[in-house]
Structure 1
Amino acid sequence: MEMTKEELIAFSSVGKKVSVDEPFNAPGHRNRIVFDALRHAASKKIFGLAYEKKGTLYLDLKCDPARIDELVNTMPYILPGQHFTKQHWITLDIDQLSSKEVLRKLIDASYQLTD
């Protein structure tokens, strides 16, 4: 699915009270990846982390631990969490996703799990 990071953040925020910031980005640091944290506006808990790496758009989401192995093993666009604990987070390769409905369901589940 072709989508910019800005479009992904907007899509992830629809119907939710969301704030976005860049808490992991240190100017002058050698890491050139810009991480946008999607947070609950009230509690500030992160439910998503959007970033681009080597030209590919990714989104880290919280997931029910009982489903992670199944999702990673059956969906080529779902990877073990790259930046948070692999026991509770997954990483989506947005370019490989074929359905906005699947993306919506995973985002909504992460939002609910972090509320």
Structure 2
Amino acid sequence: MDKEKLQEICERLPGITHDYQVDWQADRYHVGGKMFAMLGGDAERKPIITLKCEPNRAVELRETYNSIVPGYYMNKTHWNSLYLESDLSIDIFENLIVHSYNLVFEKLTKKAQKEIVAE
């Protein structure tokens, strides 16, 4: 999977902000000040995207796909990491990015949600 394509998907979502975490060498994407995606690498610098995921779905995905593992350097219950160098389809990446975004968006205050939607 192409890193630039994943960045495009993240940047299309409403109300996102982006920063670069130098210490982790990772691009981070936030909505309402809360992170929903991180593009970086694992301990061996293999490219990954780490995404928030509903816990039961997270386990199911890990059992189904070898390229989806518990979130690297994150809470293993609520985050998954997907290897970019894998046979995962663009649809899987896109669906899981949107799922992550929605989980974070839904936890924002109603006021923050309305402001984001109004942008």
Report the TM range for the smaller structure's normalisation: 0.7 to 0.9
User: TM-score, normalised to structure 1's length?
Assistant: 0.79
Letter in 2 for 1:96: S
Partner of 2:33: 44
What letter is aligned with 1:14?
A: R
1:34 to 11, 18, 25: 25
| Distance (Å, rounded) in 1 between the aligned partners of 2:19 and 2:34 | 12
How many residues are matched? Answer: 104
**RMSD of aligned Cα (Å):** 1.8
Q: Secondary structure at the match of 1:83?
A: coil
**TM-score, length-normalised on structure 2?**
0.77
Q: Deviations over 1:12-40 (max 9, x none)?
A: 222433211124x24xxxxxx51111111
Partner residue, 1:71: 61
Of 100, 107, 110, 1:110 maps to: 100
Residue deviations 1:27-84 (CA, integer Å, cap 9, x gap): xxxxxx51111111xx111000101354532000000011122111111110111121
Aligned to 1:19: 17
Q: Which deviates further from its counterpart, 45-54 or 88-97?
A: 45-54
Unaligned runs of 5+ in 1: 27-32
2:74 is the alignment partner of 1:92: no
The range that moved more, 54-63 or 98-107, is: 54-63
Cα contact 1:22–1:37 (8 A) shared by 2:
yes
Identity of aligned residues (%): 27
